[in-house]
Amino acid sequence: MKASWDIFCTVVDNFGDVGVTFRLARQLVAEHDMNVRLWIDDLSAFARLCPGADAEAPQQWCDGVRVCFWPKDWQPVEPADVVIEAFGCHLPPAQIDAMKARSQRPLWLNLEYLSAEEWVTGCHGLPSLQSSGIQKFFFFPGFRDTTGGLLREAGLIERRHGFEQDPAAQRRFLATLGIDPQPGARLISLFAYEHEGLGSWLTCLAQDQQPTHLLVPEGRIIGDVERWLGVGGLEPGALHARDHLTIQVLPFVRQEDYDLLLWCCAFNVVRGEDSFVRAQWAGRPLIWHIYEQDDDAHWAKLDAFLELYLAGLPDETGQALTHVWRDWNAGHDMTQCWNTLKKHWGELTSHAERWCLEQALQDDLTTALVRFYRNWL
């Protein structure tokens, strides 16, 4: 008999939380034959990730997942065998009561945000007895084999390698988005939060002797791009060239197409958690624009990841990447750090692929969750 899973998600940062939970739900269905309900409190964000989805539907089926609206006026439903609170959201009290009343109480998991901090390894998988009398377990995605791993679909790396070896497939995909780069142009993707120093980086790209075609999915960074260009109202399809830089605004694409976009690029700027992980599976150098937290806790997370990621790189190369990441996340002028980074491009490209393959040796997050459930039974 199939196990049933409930995944609860509140939309905090537009698409990140929804993106992770929908990937998880789809993989549970496709690769582990589970029955999954995904509860989302803002379906408009989900509809952007899943073209064809109905932002007004109380429930609908998408890629085998039963996607349900999570209303404020919650009426309890029959709990699943596994209940996941994603990223610190809180279950409705009435649903917790329903879980308590179930003859076979469900496995209750708190799926935490991704972190490379070392303390995570000591907390991963630990139980916490709640006031309801039900144990809740903390499950941490991560980069070490003592954590829950990263979301990665079966055969993902092999599909990327096949795509990379098929220039015709790359051209066909880019053409579906209206992208026609000039020969020899370097493709870079930019998906980021607002950035005060963005103009300095765009100027560097414009002045570089190698042409750059910058692909900007619509989002929060568009306003800074408009200010540098001196234009307003940039919409998907907009194309502007200045010196050696061409900027093209892209429509928001479904998750599978975003992967292909990352695979086509030589360098990717990504934000939050979902695109950050996908950029690592792309095996390309990247900048992570981490979600800023009021207590500056994001700096500890960023530094912890860099400590792991830079292992094995020459000091000078590691320092160059560190300066770029820190200056970017602080909103500083990017001129000096970017020009230094370019000297290490080849080393960083090789290292990104090596890091990807090393991470792929570990179990993926979905497999780790299923194994945890089966061991708990």
Active site residue 196: no
Alpha helices in 165-207 (DSSP H): 167-176, 198-207
First to last CA, the chain: 14
> Which of the residues 6, 81, 112, 273 is marked catalytic?
273
Confidence of residue 15 (pLDDT cuts 50, 70, 90): low
- State the average pLDDT for the chain: 95
Do the beta carbons of residue 283 and residue 353 sit within 8 Å?
yes
Q: For 297-342, give the secondary structure using H, E and C.
A: HHHHHHHHHHHHHCCCCCHHHHHHHHHHHHHHHHCCCCHHHHHHHH
The domain over range 156-359 is classified in CATH as 3.40.50.2000: yes
- Asked if the model's pLDDT at residue 336 lies above 90, the reply is yes
φ, ψ for residue 6, nearest 5 deg: -110, 130
Q: Which of 17, 85, 112, 224 is catalytic?
A: 17
Residue 16 clears pLDDT 80, i.e. is over it: no
Give the rounded percent of residues in the chain with a pLDDT score beyond 70: 99
- The Cα–Cα gap between 127 and 332 comes to 42
Q: Are 150 and 141 in contact (CB under 8 A)?
A: yes
Over the stretch 134-155, which tens digit does the pLDDT of each residue have? 999 999 999 999 999 999 999 9
Residue-level pLDDT at 272: 86
Rounded CA separation 355/83 (Å): 32
**Rounded to the nearest 5 degrees, what angle is found at the Cα of 135, between the Cα atoms of 134 and 141?**
140
CATH, domain 4-151+363-376, list 3.30.2420, 3.40.50, 3.90.1530, 1.10.10: 3.40.50
The C-alpha atoms of residue 251 and residue 259 are separated, in whole angstroms, by: 14
| Element (DSSP H or E) covering residue 366 | helix 365-376
Position 377 scores a pLDDT of 87
Predicted TM-score (pTM) of the model is 0.95
In the structure, what pLDDT confidence band is assigned to residue 244 with cuts at 50, 70 and 90? very high
The structure tokens 């699943």 sit at 80
pLDDT of 310 above 80: yes
Give the pLDDT mean for 15-24: 88
Contact 108, 134 (CB under 8 A): yes
- Rounded CA-CA distance 40/164 in Å is 35
Give pLDDT tens digits for 169-207.
Answer: 999 999 999 999 999 999 999 999 999 999 999 999 999
Token readout for 162 is 């096949």
Q: In the predicted model, is pLDDT for residue 108 greater than 80?
A: yes
What residues are paired with 40 via a beta bridge? Answer: 9, 69
**Helix 156-164 × helix 167-176 angle, to 10°:** 100
What residue type is 305 in one-letter code?
F
* Tokens of residue 284, six digits: 């390309």
Predicted pLDDT of residue 69: 97
Spatial distance between the Cα atoms of 344 and 336, rounded to a whole number of angstroms: 14
Give the residue range(s) of CATH 3.40.50.2000 domains in the chain: 156-359
Assess whether pLDDT exceeds 90 at residue 227: yes
Q: Is 164 marked active-site? A: no
| Structure tokens belonging to residue 17 | 């939380």
CA distances from 224 to 50, 196, 233, 354 (A): 27, 7, 12, 33
Instruction: Report the DSSP beta bridge partners of residue 127.
Output: 137
- pLDDT value of position 81: 97
Indicate whether 283 pLDDT > 80.
Answer: yes
